[in-house]
Structure 1
């Protein structure tokens, strides 16, 4: 394998350059057509100006987040013809519409296998009507029931999850499903791959799905064929090809591992060495995850199968992956696994975060790598603080994306002035996506506090309510807080003029970041 690394990297980066050049060529052709029509054909240009005005009216009256409308209105107003043509081109892309239609069909097919236990729902409603309403919403719009009979283990670091993954993978008897945003050769992936190959030889069914962005810089484009030769079923989600499409904007950002339908993992940890601190990138890498053992693992099984089948019309044998009900401790609390789909009118990941902020009684504690907020989220954070809720946010001190970090800092003053406390993790980078509230609610998953996670990506998480493991999540927040420095209003003023200007300019394009 070592001998082929140079060749592999050449293929990777050679393909990356070709794809980028092809996409730029398409954008250049569109822009050139605009220039030709403007300069040489006056009446056609006039016609397109009318089209631009019609597009503007459509954007203003279209349902959706006003921040996204603003991003489109800017090019339509400044460069009417090109902006209108580009908007129409993006709106007419069939990829996202076909995928949404396919996902709805798949969700309808799996609904009979993830039926809500009415006794569990009624018990939750009796304890907390507001949580009962949230659970009903998630089941209605996300096909995700609320479960009991589920043991939960929280991992405060990626290396903790890694050790548990290796242990649980070795115990697999029937099937292993893996869905990850990033995979890269190294200590972590190579050790997991060795176990997967051994499990295939034992007759265990192994399916591996990873996001197609990896084909640009991390893995060879035909890596799925390499795994298939080992007996591992493998797919890339939305592989990047040499044509421009809005479809590429919707990435599979989920991190899911399901073993035998009994055990499931999720959280921020991808399959690369920086996530377990075996490779230093941006200082110490702080990440989190959870392992669910019991009934709630079922939802992750079917969440995976829906994504696996989104690009095919084959009939899945869902019954083959049903496992008997788990008998857990009597008072183990409630667990709701849920997914986020970037289509339709519902934004489930955002709704859950807003619900926690709006119903908090004493505190909301948050860890997130990115802070790129729409007005609704800003209002929820500031209103919670203004009504006396302790709102604390832990951010990285060493960012992985300097532009995103500069943009995040533009929100600091408004949040701090309202009473929100912001901290930066001084040892390095926080990649965790965690909410805890009132010692009775916690969310651990893949959902960042930015537009991409809340609007554009496929995501997932586990919501815990009155579960004993919530105290471990909150304790980790407090332990992490000891390694942070609090940000004051004066800190923003100390930033360089160009950094502040960069952040303010980027704020115009925040929905795209």
Structure 2
């Protein structure tokens, strides 16, 4: 009995020191701190093991550094844009973009997100169409192919894509593939053997340090970027796998949103890929070459910024962009997201918009792929319903799109979900598009998706069962650390 008492005492002492670490050393926000303290209280010692795996902060050191970036000319252009915006002498090609001067300035100053105005975008909402076009662009590549995905599976689609890449590598095209090990944990390294034999290069983001175990469940690279010949870029929600073609019976049709971009904006995607690649590699660093950044003619009239965020960043750039768009809305806010677990700042922005009479519409999936996240989503949806927002449950399969459209004038498409994981813990990238025709098309797409959705009313929400209420309550409590 004395030994048992001593062990219990030691356990509580250890827990006390663990709590001190969380409160004083990690300097998390108060909500996350309280959530982790509750985990420590209810699951002594084991709670700290979970904290080491899921909750430890990444040092704010600069993970991505590219000594050749000045040679692109971006640094001088950024300073010129900052100065001209501050002095209100920047000439906007599109008058609508002028309404978002503050948003553009914020991304420029805090994220080095250069504004380009001569771009063209194709929007894909169907996986088959997206990958058919991507493989066609790969087949037409003449210099290099840079491909980065969070998830790559070696199924039918993955094999088809790797076959196309291997064929181009054999033709002498420089092929580089970067994937996240946690997202692609089921992928065998042997899947790339043919590509490597053809001189293709493959790198892994944050690989495991211990065989068969990767304790870095946080800080994953959730970005999906493809750059071909420095002229064509892809960005959006689709990963590589048969389920993204709607071939997984569990999810059915996969509804996502992806962009194919051309114009000067591709240089920003190229830069983002190179930074991620150079962080991951130990042997095959990419240095500046003119062919990676070819001279590009005007492709269209769309203004765009590529905005990145991650746990190494001082600010939550993508989330801040969302809040700025929401607080500046005059009429409408349309959001599609597979997970809706906003922090208090974003929740307040949406609640105030709804209470102010703005047309706030949020679309979420009907099918969960992560149970706790799913019910945490429902708990937050309930709060917005009370404020007057409109909520739609997508029924035609699984909706994975990460989009926000405001006033039919500005929109954002990318890899970031509306949750703490995307805003703080993962490396993400979004395109902010200042172009009325594109935003109007995105809004129309949302309205078309409403035809395949069920509207959830406040009355419906209040009739949910006690079991659902219990699951929501537990999930809501855990939402700061999901």
TM-score band, normalised by the shorter chain?
Answer: 0.7 to 0.9
| 2:187 aligned residue (219, 242, 254) | 219
User: Once structures 1 and 2 are overlaid, which stretch shifts more, 138-147 or 296-305?
Assistant: 138-147
Greater fraction of residues in helix = 1
Asked if structure 2 preserves the Cα contact closer than 8 Å seen for 1:238 and 1:248, the reply is no
Deviation at 1:187, TM superposition (A): 3.0
Aligned length: 468
Matched, 1:334 2:295: no
Does 2:314 align with 1:353?
Answer: no
TM-score by length of 2: 0.88
Question: Using a 3 Å threshold, how does the CA distance of structure 1 residues 46 and 352 change in structure 2: closer, same or farther?
Answer: closer
Q: Deviations over 1:175-208 (max 9, x none)?
A: 1001101111233222222221221122110001
Task: Report the CA distance between 1:426 and its aligned residue.
Answer: 1.4
Structure-1 residue corresponding to 2:59: 97
Does the Cα contact within 8 Å between 1:266 and 1:445 map onto a contact in 2? yes
Name the SS for the 1:427 alignment partner.
coil
For 1:317, the equivalent position in structure 2 comes to: 287
Correspondence for 1:275 among 218, 240, 244: 244
- Judge conservation of contact 1:67–1:374 (CA < 8 Å) in 2: no
The CA RMSD over aligned residues, in Å, is: 3.0
3-state SS, counterpart of residue 216 of structure 2: helix
Q: Give the conservation status (yes or no) of the 8 Å contact 1:370–1:395.
A: yes
Which region of structure 1 is more displaced relative to structure 2, 172-181 or 318-327? 318-327
Contact 2:103–2:325, Cα closer than 8 Å, also in 1: no
- Residue 506 of structure 1, aligned match among 475, 478, 481: 475
Does residue 228 (structure 1) correspond to residue 196 (structure 2)? The answer is yes
Partner of 1:72: 36
- Find the aligned partners of 1:176 and 1:91 in 2 and give their Cα distance: 35
Instruction: Give distance in 2, aligned partners of 1:37 and 1:144.
Output: 58
CA change 1:376–1:198 in 2 (3 A) is same
- Following superposition, the deviation at residue 491 of structure 1 comes to 2.2
Candidates 379, 382, 392, aligned match of 2:348: 379
Cα distance in 2 for residues equivalent to 1:48 and 1:302: 45
Q: Could you tell me whether the CA contact under 8 Å between 2:23 and 2:33 is conserved in 1? A: no
| Contact preservation (8 Å) 1:338, 1:460 | yes
Deviation sequence 1:260-311 (CA, Å, 0-9, x none) = 1111011111111111223433232111111111100011111011111113
Provide the secondary structure at the position in 2 that maps to 1:182: coil
Q: Which moved more, 1:162-171 or 1:346-355?
A: 162-171
Q: 2 CA distance for matches of 1:375 and 1:92? A: 21
Change (3 A) 1:47 1:198: closer
Q: Distance between the aligned counterparts of 2:261 and 2:462, measured in 1? A: 45
CA distance in 2, matches of 1:272, 1:155: 16
Alpha-carbon distance in 2 for matches of 1:50, 1:451: 26
Describe the shift of the 1:357–1:273 C-alpha distance in structure 2 as closer, same or farther (beyond 3 A).
same
Give 1:82 shift: 6.5
Could you list the runs of 5+ residues in structure 1 that have no partner in the other structure?
Answer: 1-34
Q: Is residue 110 from structure 1 mapped to residue 69 from structure 2 by the alignment?
A: yes
Superposed, 1:185-334 pairs within 5 Å as 185-216=154-185, 218-225=186-193, 227-242=195-210, 247-312=216-281, 316-320=286-290, 321-329=292-300, 332-334=301-303
Structure 1 pair 223–111 and aligned structure 2 pair: CA distance change class (3 A): farther
Equivalent residue, structure 2, for 1:39: 6
Please give the TM-score of this superposition, normalised by the length of structure 1. 0.83
Contact conserved, 2:170 with 2:198, CA < 8 A, in 1? Answer: no
Tell me the distance in 2 between the aligned counterparts of 1:372 and 1:125: 36
Q: 2:243 & 2:168 partners in 1: Cα distance?
A: 26
Distance (whole Å) between structure 2 residues aligned to residue 53 and residue 209 of structure 1: 37
Residues 52 and 80 in structure 1, CA contact (< 8 A), matched pair in contact too = no
Instruction: Tell me the SS of whatever aligns to 1:432.
Output: coil
* Aligned twin of 2:426: 457
What SS does structure 1 have at the residue aligned with 2:233?
Answer: strand
Q: Give me the whole-angstrom Cα distance separating, in 1, the residues matched to 2:454 and 2:8.
A: 60
Contact 2:54/2:217 (CA < 8 Å) preserved in 1?
A: no
Whether the aligned pair in 1 keeps the contact of 2:375 and 2:476 (CA below 8 Å) is no
Contact 2:12 2:44 in 1 (8 A): no
Q: Which residue of 2 aligns with 1:4?
A: none
8 Å contact kept, 1:441–1:464: yes
| 2:341 counterpart SS class | coil
Q: C-alpha distance in 1, partners of 2:22/2:224?
A: 38
